[in-house]
Structure 1
Amino acid sequence: MNVLLVYVHPESRSLNGSLKDFAIQRLEHAGHTVRVSDLYAMNWKATLDADDNTARQPGARFDPSMDSRQAFENGTQRVDIAREQDKLRWADGVILQFPLWWFSMPAILKGWVERVYAYGFAYGVGEHSDTHWGDRYGEGMLAGKRAMLVVTAGGWASHYEPRGINGPIDDILFPIQHGILFYPGFDVLPPHVIYRTSRIDEAGFSKACEALGQRLDDLWTADPVPFRRQNAGDYLIPELTLRPELAPGRSGFDIHVERD
């Protein structure tokens, strides 16, 4: 299988750097082909702006969505954007590896999403009608591919439990897993989170690699998070609200996950 590892950390000698090297070796040893987008090493441009459309008329009003659409349709995107889109088309599986900074992904990775997820590529696709509201949330250009987050966090695991001070880790990562990965069609695997990173010694690193290695071995067989598909009947269209008979009396992120 083809695996794209989007790696985010400014220090190659960090824990994240060592885990990235381990992941590449583990995947290649299993027979997979791995490509890496090391955003800091690539000096990735994080800001979406008018310069992303190379054929844009000077002085024209910048409309992020429409400029993105025109550039994608006309083949006038900056080459760095088109290159990353090609990697996503090539990949059977995508891993986003990053440290949890201020309860989210680092800004450079958010910028990768904003620029690479062009209109017509990751959003704005499919018909919009009274029965089908675009190809998204389980459908889209990236449907049939798998994705997983590998996240490091400085806090204890208990800080991210349902009653932990930071809030449940699944809630913190929901906008990324549901809104960035599931939205364009990925089958999203449960995240792999490594906690209390500043206290990991040599023995702890070996345990971390063992746990990560098992998740990488299971990349193609593990059950994805059972997010509800938008156009499969669970949501009223065009309101896009969950039908009242499903998860009655409840709200929040969890209602968008099917439970037995």
Structure 2
Amino acid sequence: MNISVILGHPYEKSFNHAIASTVVETLCASGHEVFFHDLHKEGFDPILQGEELVTDSSDDSLVRIHCSEITEADGIIVVHPNWWGQPPAILKGWVDRVLRENVAYRFAEDDDGSGLPMGLLKARTAIVFNTSNTPEERENTVFGDPLERIWKDCIFDFCGVTDFHRRMFRTIAGSSENKRLEWLDEVKKMVSSNFPLDDV
């Protein structure tokens, strides 16, 4: 299977990077083809320019690569921190520029864009791994866990990805090395259970 792995975190020694490395290693060990992108390292430009929006195409070669790969992906895994209840700006820009109309979804020919979209992504399974320093009770009672709604309903369901899984690791600040190793083992198990050994 072709699996797209997208990392949105600027600090290479972050736990997000450790999660992404574990994801890639686990997928490769199971025989999957991995399209891995560290958005910061590769210098992904998150800014959607007006011309790109109205022409529905991009002159950015990196954006074109991402669009091509995401249409071929059998699965998608996204790794990012919880910043202000949202993905970091670089990842939001990736959504804007890559999960675009006629790549990730489209509307019927007679639809002006106000109707229900048709998801175009080949992938049927997506996993999102998040990190946070907000305790779970406060996240749920005060903020309502906006990342769950963003990724599950506003993005993946919109694009036709129906099998969605998400795991928030918290709290990262002050967590011990042993706890982080436990979390990484959980990442391995979650990835392996959703993307088992590839027999193709």
> Take 1:110 and 1:89, find their aligned partners in 2: how far apart are those partners?
18
Deviates more, 1:150-159 or 1:92-101: 150-159
Amino acid at match of 2:49: D
Shift of 1:143: 4.5
Alpha-carbon deviations, 1:35-87, whole Å to 9, x = none? 211110111111100464xxxxxxxxxxx3x322xx3xxxx642222110111
Consecutive unaligned residues in structure 2, runs of 5 or more? none
Match of 2:11 in 1: 11
- Determine if the alignment matches structure 1 residue 121 to structure 2 residue 94: no
Shift of 1:141: 1.2
> Take 1:125 and 1:85, find their aligned partners in 2: how far apart are those partners?
18
Please provide the CA RMSD for this pair.
2.0
The secondary structure found in structure 1 opposite 2:106 is coil
Match of 1:165 in 2: 142
CA 1:27–1:220 in structure 2 vs 1: closer, same or farther (change >3 Å)? Answer: closer
From 53, 58, 67, the counterpart of 2:55? 67
State the TM-score, normalizing by the size of structure 1. Answer: 0.68
- Determine if the alignment matches structure 1 residue 89 to structure 2 residue 66: no
Alpha-carbon deviations, 1:134-167, whole Å to 9, x = none? 5x3xx42114532111111111222233xx3332
Match of 2:152 in 1: 177
Amino acid at match of 1:121: V
Match of 1:254 in 2: none
- Determine if the alignment matches structure 1 residue 153 to structure 2 residue 135: no
- Determine if the alignment matches structure 1 residue 105 to structure 2 residue 87: yes
> Take 1:36 and 1:20, find their aligned partners in 2: how far apart are those partners?
9
> Take 1:149 and 1:196, find their aligned partners in 2: how far apart are those partners?
17
Match of 2:185 in 1: 210
CA 1:172–1:34 in structure 2 vs 1: closer, same or farther (change >3 Å)? Answer: closer
Instruction: Determine which structure has more spread, i.e. the larger CA radius of gyration.
Output: 1
What's the % identity of the aligned pairs? 21
Alpha-carbon deviations, 1:73-126, whole Å to 9, x = none? xxx642222110111022110011100000010011111111112332234333
Deviates more, 1:191-200 or 1:76-85: 76-85
Amino acid at match of 2:191: L
Higher relative contact order (CA 8 A, sep 6+): 2
